[in-house]
Structure 1
């Protein structure tokens, strides 16, 4: 009885080890870096239509990535999905920052110097 219980647990542990050993695609790494740059609060604290449009566009890009990955039939499809996702996130962020700058609101930047 113990053997029947232990074998599936060992198999699960090995499956996790195998998936951890698979390297992340370069395109996914770029996309994950872009995700880290998603703005979590509006520029100058102003919640206007530009801010809400940006947030909607980010959510839409995330949904599209999920759909594209679900339909991916090979590694190239996965690469395309991640690449498109990274491009969309960067494009939407830059558009939002640019449009807010045109209205006179700049995105703050902090520089730490030794």
Structure 2
């Protein structure tokens, strides 16, 4: 009887692991992927200044931190936290860069329709 109960439980555990390996469908990951698509690939007004380089370094650092956090994740909550933090960092870094450039008189030419 124990064998009959344990088999479906093991099968469910294997399916969850396979699902994570094939690609998760976490809401937080989808949000983070949307933020990734909004990463600026060229400096505002073509000005390559310290703000641009700081922005690029911060993005790279956020990506490295995400990889580390995902590697340390031990459960679903850890995965969600890692993706959520990554999305928040990408959004914050982009916003700060755009605001700092605007203070210097350079406006971002990005239009977002949502």
Q: TM-score range by the shorter chain?
A: 0.7 to 0.9
Equivalent-residue separation in structure 1 for 2:78 and 2:49 (angstroms): 36
Judging changes above 3 Å, is the alpha-carbon distance between structure 1 residues 63 and 71 closer, same or farther for their aligned structure 2 residues? same
- For 1:40, the equivalent position in structure 2 comes to 41
Judging changes above 3 Å, is the alpha-carbon distance between structure 1 residues 65 and 22 closer, same or farther for their aligned structure 2 residues? closer
Moved over 2 A (4+): 18-23, 109-112
| Equivalent pairs, count | 96
- For 2:87, the equivalent position in structure 1 comes to 86
1:24 deviates by 1.1
Report SS of the residue matched to 2:69: helix
Matched, 1:55 2:49: no
1:109 deviates by 3.3
Return the TM-score normalized by structure 2.
Answer: 0.77
Judging changes above 3 Å, is the alpha-carbon distance between structure 1 residues 50 and 27 closer, same or farther for their aligned structure 2 residues? same
In structure 2, runs of 5+ residues without a counterpart are 1-14
Judging changes above 3 Å, is the alpha-carbon distance between structure 1 residues 22 and 67 closer, same or farther for their aligned structure 2 residues? closer
- For 1:106, the equivalent position in structure 2 comes to 107
Report SS of the residue matched to 1:52: helix
